[in-house]
Amino acid sequence: MIRLNAMPLDFEPRRKILPKLPSFVSKDGYREPEMSEFESAFLCGAIKQFRPKKILEVGVAGGATTAIILQALEDIGEPYEMHSVDVAEKFYRDKTKPSGFMATLAKEKVFGNLRGTHEFHLGKYLPQVIDNIGGDIDFVILDTVHSLPGEVLDFIAMLPYLKDGAIVVLHDVALNQYGTNPNGNATTVLFSAVTANKFLNLVSGDVNSKFQYPNIAAFQINEHTAQNIENVFLTLILRWSYLPSQGEMNLYFVHYRKHYPKELCAIYAEAIKMNLYNLVIASYV
Ligand SMILES: C[S@@+](CC[C@H](N)C(=O)[O-])C[C@H]1O[C@@H](n2cnc3c(N)ncnc32)[C@H](O)[C@@H]1O
């Protein structure tokens, strides 16, 4: 089922916290956070609506979105546990700073004692940290590579740790139309293939947005999500935009074998073989 314009928007957390932090603009003009006001409002609206207790963020960058999420959770005023995972220890747009530096500043200089806990897991892939984070996750923001296999690998990895009814917010669900990267379709593909209740708010009144179809969306998992997870595994058969390192592909393979039947792991193994052939070997034969 798809629910249009059903998510309340909450612009307040971003407007509260960002002016208290130094602004960051990279040499090539990217600002922190990498979300528009509308996208942050959709994310914070979902947080206010579902009042999560255990939050997982995958893809941190400079951490302005992390700070905005923390503000939204503080505004709710209840205890929470939040984990932020990024494979890069250093902020990928300015390697003189650690990933998440803006959230670290917010924690040290703005929030004081948090009502909940927040922990960074930097320099690691999700399968390397998810057992320590543990189950019962009820809210996810997934925003990493955007190109296949990207976010598809991580959603499959995290699903066994999500609570029934968990909300998964995906950024860049229309990046291949909005940006200059036609391969930016990993979250588009995931959003299409997953069985779940889906939330899309059409953009209106934003002069900076070219289209009404938003670049952020969410879904709520239910008992059918895990039953139909083969549809998400099957998206991995699409041609990938990049080949992860052998070590990375292996981490996910070992993790999937712990949680999924061998038929699904075999689809992932075939996807690796086909993409290895087409992205690497084919150019030598
Ligand atoms: C687009 S940025 C995230 C933007 C951020 N969510 C925001 O709103 O400002 C993508 C981040 O994902 C990280 N990343 C890329 N692949 C990853 C992976 N497999 N697991 C965890 N983080 C990853 C990158 O290092 C980068 O910091």
Amino acid in position 246: Q
d(CA 216, CA 7): 11
Tokens 């609506």 appear where?
49
Query: Is the pLDDT at 1 greater than 90, yes or no?
Result: no
pLDDT in the model for residue 27: 84
Kindly tell me the burial class for residue 108, based on how many C-beta atoms sit within 10 Å of its own C-beta (0-12, 13-18, 19 or more).
Answer: exposed
Helices 150-158 + 246-259 axis angle, to 10? 30
- Name the residue with the closest Cα to ligand 1, atom 22: 86
* Cβ atoms 157, 194 nearer than 8 A: no
* Percentage above 70 pLDDT, the chain: 100
Residue 236 lies in a domain: no
- In sequence order, the 6+-apart residues with CB closer than 8 A to the CB of 158 are 56, 58, 126, 130, 137, 140
Indicate if ligand 1 lies below 6 Å from the C-beta of 34. Answer: yes
Query: Is the pLDDT at 208 greater than 80, yes or no?
Result: no
Helix runs in the chain, H state only: 12-17, 37-50, 64-76, 101-105, 126-133, 150-158, 175-178, 186-193, 223-227, 230-235, 246-259, 262-279
d(CA 33, CA 81): 22
User: What is the CA(145)–ligand 1 centre distance, in A?
Assistant: 6
User: What is the CA(88)–ligand 1 centre distance, in A?
Assistant: 8
φ/ψ region of 88 (left if φ > 0, alpha if ψ in -120 to 50, else beta) reads beta
Query: Is the pLDDT at 210 greater than 90, yes or no?
Result: no
Q: Report the predicted TM-score, pTM, of the whole model to 2 decimal places.
A: 0.97
Residue 276 lies in a domain: no
Please report, for the domain that includes residue 53, its CATH number: 3.40.50.150
SS (H, E, C) 246-269: HHHHHHHHHHHHHHCCHHHHHHHH
Indicate if ligand 1 lies below 6 Å from the C-beta of 85. Answer: yes
Residue 279 lies in a domain: no
Q: How many CB atoms lie within 10 A of CB 31?
A: 14
Query: Is the pLDDT at 206 greater than 80, yes or no?
Result: no
pLDDT in the model for residue 114: 96
Best residue among 24, 40, 43, 86 to mutate for probing ligand 1's pocket (most ligand atoms within 8 Å of CB) is: 86
Arithmetic mean of pLDDT, 235-244: 97
- Name the residue with the closest Cα to ligand 1, atom 27: 61
Domain that holds residue 76: 2-227
| Residue 78 pLDDT grade (very low, low, confident, very high; cuts 50, 70, 90) | very high
pLDDT digits (tens, 9 = 90+) for 6-43: 999 999 999 999 999 999 988 888 889 999 999 999 99
The first and second tokens of residue 213, run together, are 């179809």
Question: What atom of ligand 1 comes closest to residue 62's alpha carbon?
Answer: 9
pLDDT digits (tens, 9 = 90+) for 244-255: 999 999 999 999
Residue 260 lies in a domain: no
- Work out how many domains the chain is built from and give that number: 1
Query: Is the pLDDT at 178 greater than 90, yes or no?
Result: no
- Name the residue with the closest Cα to ligand 1, atom 14: 144
pLDDT in the model for residue 283: 82
Average pLDDT of the chain to the nearest whole number: 96
Residue 173 lies in a domain: yes
pLDDT in the model for residue 207: 73
